Amino acid sequence: MDFVKKNINKSLTIFLISHLIIWTVVPSISNNNLPLDVIEAIVWSDGWPLGWEKHPPLSSWFPGLFFQIFGNQDWSYYLLSQIFVILTFFVVWKFSEDFFENKYYSFISILLLEGIFFYNFTTPEFNVNVCQLPFWALSVLYCWKGIKYDKIIDWLLFGLFAALGILSKYLFIYLLVAIDLFFIYMIIKKKFNYRAFISLIPFFLVLLPHIIWLTDNDYITITYGLHRTGTGEQVFLDHMTHPLIFLGKQIGILIPIFIMILLLISKFKLNLNLKDKKLLFLISINVFPLILIFLTSLIMGVKIRTMWMTPFYLFSGVLLVYIFQNQIDLKKLKYFFLLFLILFILSPMTYLYISITQTNKRTDYRGEQIAKQVQEKWDSNFTNTIRSVIGNEWDAGNLSYHLESKPKWYSHSAAFVDKSISEFLETIGKDGLIIINGECSFGSSFKIEGNKICMYGNK
């Protein structure tokens, strides 16, 4: 305990490195296969597209980059996720330093985040939710710097990171709307500096290529996102049940962090100064996005998926510590650290137990073994390499990931919509093709794990 008090920076470094190592090693030794979202991201990344049918592009670019460096080394993608997580924690730390004179409070506000399973248990799967974490944190940090110091560089960086956040996941817009509400308040109070509009320059410049792509592709990712909420299928009762279910889940998610902060304070007393600009900003970035998404569910009757809330609580620790900082009793820190250590150890142990004992998960898929069987069948029939794989993101994507030649992946729709097999073969070449569960009127075919494999190569 004394070491922590005297060596806050070292303690933070130990925590971040420990988190990175644990959450890289645990899934690496317990999972037989990468999760679905990671496989999808890797196969989507080929050619560095400006968008995909499900998501904007950024969440595929980073796994794609790692695939170019590490190939099919599963541990590297778990490492990628944890790099994003600890980078986010560090940015939140830097942000909190401007809110607390005592660095100990900044450290506590970071440790509190281990009480939210979004930042440990679910992080091994690199996806759009994990991808937006550092950009969410960096947007908040540089927005606050812009408000406080009004430097052009801070506003430019705010615009840049905000755009990168949108390119990670469109739900990022809820944070930006919440910040806009804070700006409106500042305008009303005549404390707003219009230099903030400089941030719009990098924001739209970075987004422009994706906007053009969206227009050219009939806004397919927006359509997909609306479909995931069940838009258009609502009944009147959904406007009541979906928001209440959402609210109940959020309370459940936050119970550990509430218990952790209660262990620290001498008495529970709210004394909010609503003229405090720091407090108002913290409320804006923590509470307003939640209210906005709750209203979305209430008005539209749509279902809000739990994992969509991953970045929404990044600054909840800063807010709670800021509100109760005058009531925090440092003599009670041992109880806080005890609960923190329990959660810090319990979460990876639970992940390890579930991964080992539960079957029929995506991460139990025999992707590497299936790829070896396919490769053996190919080598016994053909002399050339496998250049292309056609099928869905999971079955065909795993082949693309695991096969020695790292073949290019195509979806069935991309391959055969408005085209015959022969026409598509003319496009991609006929000297090394595998089709999974698709039309197969040529070549050699066989079945593996219930999947029909059709191969076309040179004898």
**pLDDT tens digits for range 377-397:** 888 888 888 888 988 889 999
Q: Which residues pair with 454 in a beta bridge?
A: 435, 445
Compute CA 295 distance to the chain's CA centroid, rounded to the nearest angstrom: 23
What is the reported pLDDT for 165? 98
What is the reported pLDDT for 423? 66
**What percent of the chain lies above the pLDDT cut of 90?**
66
Laid out side by side, the sheet with 451-456 consists of 408-410, 388-390, 433-436, 451-456, 444-448
Instruction: Classify residue 455 by its DSSP letter.
Output: E
Q: What is the mean pLDDT of residues 224-232?
A: 70
Using left for φ > 0, alpha for ψ between -120 and 50, and beta otherwise, residue 408 falls in beta
Q: Are 364 and 137 in contact (CB under 8 A)?
A: no
Helix locations, 169-315, DSSP H: 173-188, 200-216, 220-229, 238-262, 277-286, 288-300
Task: Annotate 352-375 with DSSP letters as a single string.
Answer: HHHHHH--S-GGG--HHHHHHHHH
Helix locations, 31-151, DSSP H: 36-44, 58-70, 74-96, 103-111, 128-131, 133-149
**pLDDT tens digits for range 265-295:** 988 777 788 889 999 999 999 999 999 999 9
Question: Which pLDDT band holds residue 419 (cuts at 50, 70, 90)?
Answer: low
Q: Are 286 and 315 in contact (CB under 8 A)?
A: yes
Write out the H or E segment, with its range, that includes residue 436: strand 433-436
- Rounded Cα–Cα distance for residues 85 and 76 (Å): 14
What is the reported pLDDT for 158? 98
Q: Which residues pair with 354 in a beta bridge?
A: none
pTM of the full predicted structure?
A: 0.93
**Residue 390 in 3-state DSSP?**
strand
Q: Which of 13-27, 331-345, 410-424 has the lowest mean pLDDT?
A: 410-424
Two structure tokens written together for 43: 């196969």
What is the reported pLDDT for 126? 97
Cβ atoms within 10 Å, residue 375: 16
What is the reported pLDDT for 140? 98
Residue for token digits 């016994």?
Answer: 380
Q: What is the mean pLDDT of residues 121-139?
A: 97
**What percent of the chain lies above the pLDDT cut of 70?**
92
Q: What is the mean pLDDT of residues 191-211?
A: 95
Q: b/e map of 322-333 (b: 16 or more CB within 10 Å)?
A: bbbbeebeeeeb
Phi first, then psi: give them for residue 276, nearest 5 degrees.
-80, 115
What is the reported pLDDT for 4? 56
Question: Which pLDDT band holds residue 206 (cuts at 50, 70, 90)?
Answer: very high
Cβ atoms within 10 Å, residue 233: 11
Q: What is the mean pLDDT of residues 101-126?
A: 95
Q: What is the mean pLDDT of residues 126-147?
A: 97
Q: Which residues pair with 435 in a beta bridge?
A: 390, 454
What is the reported pLDDT for 402? 95
State how beta strands 408-410 and 451-456 pair. Answer: unpaired
Compute CA 369 distance to the chain's CA centroid, rounded to the nearest angstrom: 29
Q: What is the mean pLDDT of residues 74-78?
A: 98
- How confident is the prediction for the chain on average, in pLDDT? 90
Residue 426 has pLDDT above 70, yes or no: no
Instruction: Classify residue 442 by its DSSP letter.
Output: S
Q: Are 386 and 405 in contact (CB under 8 A)?
A: yes
What is the reported pLDDT for 449? 74
Q: Which residues pair with 451 in a beta bridge?
A: 448
